[in-house]
Amino acid sequence: MNTLPQQLANGLLLGSMYGLIAIGYTMVYGIVQLINFAHGEIFMTGGFGALSVYLVLPSDISMWVAVPLMLIGGGLVAVLIAVGAERFAYRPLRGAPRLAPLITAIGLSLALQEVVRNFYPEADRARAFPGLDGTHNIGSITIKDADIFLIGAAIVCMSALALFVRRSRTGRAMQATAQDPDTAQLMGIDTNRIIVIAFAIGGFFAAVASVAYGMKYGNVKYDMGFLMGLKAFTAAVLGGIGNIYGAMLGGIVLGIAETLASAYIDGVPGMQQLGGQSWANVWAFCLLILVLLFRPQGLLGERVADRA
């Protein structure tokens, strides 16, 4: 157990990444009651947008200068795709049966994957992604500069979002729209604009997560959004879908649970074959099943009646 602090740190970092992506799911669901299953691919396109920016920068540029530019480029790509998806794929189906936008989301997810795979050079193989050099030791914990960027980005994004939602007029309008969109519209709130802003914020956070993912693992690939999107959806459900703080909490809980299960479950008598990284995804989705069975509203969610 002398590696426990390191495993907890790894879980916190992984969970922060899940949480950043999960915010996109939970914001959209909280306002329009829609699960955007194409959000994982928005995360993926943000990574390729950031990589494209890096490839046109001078080769001798410092990564501390390149990273903010990559965030801007990747964020712009992800936000444009998220807003375009809302305007052209989801808005026309807003009054349709719930199965219609679900099928549309799955189709959009596959379409984005195929567009990147066919038109981005070598996207079907893992494209090398630039990273931040440097490793630091804090007691028995080893942390890299890319990890510092990830945890710092998660803190900044969550703090900025909390201030935005609580203090700004637009944030209060988002809360009103989430509570009752019809009444909010009667009170003069442009609900279409609020929904677009929710998609845009979710897209930008997904792009931040994709840059952190690329720097942490050293590559991006056209299909990386599928599994990360499912994990982030699991985090959103775990924390309480529709609750932005629950999304980050669910991501951290999921990341720590997944990391600890991968590291230690093979030490349990009779379960040696169920440990290791190859079983990490199994335990993550087992956690989702348990939450849906025993606390479907999530850790911070409230049990509410279905909206008519």
Give the other-Cβ count within 10 Å of 168's Cβ: 11
pLDDT of residue 139: 83
**Residues 246-269: tens digit of each pLDDT:** 999 999 999 999 898 888 876 665
**Residues 37-79: tens digit of each pLDDT:** 999 999 999 999 999 999 999 988 998 899 999 999 999 999 9
- Residues 225 and 129: their CA atoms lie apart, in Å, by 15
Pairing mode, strands 141-144 and 219-220: unpaired
Burial class (CB in 10 A: 0-12, 13-18, 19+), 304: exposed
**Residues 17-30: tens digit of each pLDDT:** 999 999 999 999 98
pTM (two decimals) = 0.92
List, for the chain, all residue ranges whose pLDDT scores fall below the cut of 70: 1-2, 266-278, 302-308
Cα dihedral across residues 13, 15, 19, 22: positive or negative: positive
Question: Residue type at 255?
Answer: G
* Average pLDDT, rounded, for the chain: 89
